[in-house]
Amino acid sequence: MTDKKQKNRRAYHHGNLKAALIDVAQRLIVERGPHGFTLVEAAKLAGVSPAAPYRHFSSREALLAEVARSGYENFSTRLEDAWDGGTPNPVTAFRRMGDVYLDFARYERASYIAMFEAGLVHNEVDGLKSSADKAFSVLTNAASALGGKMPDGTPIPPEMLGAHIWAMSHGMATLFASTEKFSDQRLKGDMKALFESGTAIYLRGLGIDVPPINDE
């Protein structure tokens, strides 16, 4: 038996099988995509029997759901820390949240893929919807502090503003991920700078004062 398998089996013996399977799943998600492996393959890489994972996960989808759920929890915490109560001002804090979003998408690829690309139905997985809603609520609370008005002069609903920014962040992160993966040269430049300019244009269109970064 290899040293790696011995190490994994010791971890299992001490009750860490669930964590070991999640770690293996994260590696496989990045390498093969969310549906490119089986629970049996995950068990093999974790150094346990094919039946062992069923102590914690009923299927590969259940394992993916746990990666996504824990990802949303981590994501929420990072967004909340970046918001930091809206200090020193809501726009600056909101920009920090944008940076965190893009960094999470780039450096926590397994979690991000499980959260947004695995096709999981949130209502069908215990804890997944509440974790996802928690992440979105951090964004809507920040959006509420920003204010802004619709073209007819009425206040823009925070949920709508939050959804627009989330969609822009997700689109930007996904586009750059595809560019890096396929060495596509059609999109060049700094992802954060592009996101900054896009959100500034959007927020100013809502009547929100967005000073240049150097003026903050």
What CA–CA distance (Å, rounded) separates 23 from 170? 24
Tally of residues, the chain? 216
The predicted structure's pLDDT at residue 192 = 84
For the question of whether the overall pTM of this predicted structure is more than 0.85, the answer is no
The predicted structure's pLDDT at residue 124 = 81
The predicted structure's pLDDT at residue 13 = 42
Per-residue model confidence as pLDDT tens digits over 132-149:
999 999 999 999 999 999
Burial of 86 (0-12, 13-18, 19+ CB in 10 A): middle
52 neighbors 43 (Cβ within 8 angstroms): yes
Report the Cα 94 to chain-centroid distance in Å. 17
The predicted structure's pLDDT at residue 216 = 53
The predicted structure's pLDDT at residue 158 = 93
Distances in Å between the Cα of 1 and the Cα atoms of 6, 10, 149, 183 are 7, 12, 65, 39
Q: Which of 7, 51, 45, 8 is nearest to 28 (CA)?
A: 45
The predicted structure's pLDDT at residue 159 = 94
The predicted structure's pLDDT at residue 1 = 45
Per-residue model confidence as pLDDT tens digits over 66-84:
999 999 999 999 999 999 9
Following CA atoms 56, 61, 67, 73 in sequence, which dihedral angle do they give, to the nearest 10 degrees? -100
The predicted structure's pLDDT at residue 189 = 59
CATH class of 61-215: mainly alpha
Q: Is 190 helix (H, G, I), strand (E, B) or coil?
A: coil
What CA–CA distance (Å, rounded) separates 191 from 195? 6
What CA–CA distance (Å, rounded) separates 166 from 172? 10
Domains of the chain by residue range: 3-55, 61-215
Percent of the chain with pLDDT over 70: 86
Report which residue type is found at 175: L
What is the DSSP track for 58-127?
SSHHHHHHHHHHHHHHHHHHHHHHHHGGG-S-HHHHHHHHHHHHHHHHHH-HHHHHHHHTS---GGGSTT
The owner of tokens 């823009």 is: 156
What CA–CA distance (Å, rounded) separates 97 from 127? 24
Report the Cα 44 to chain-centroid distance in Å. 27
The predicted structure's pLDDT at residue 181 = 52
Per-residue model confidence as pLDDT tens digits over 26-76:
999 999 999 999 999 999 999 898 998 888 999 999 999 999 999 999 999
The predicted structure's pLDDT at residue 172 = 86
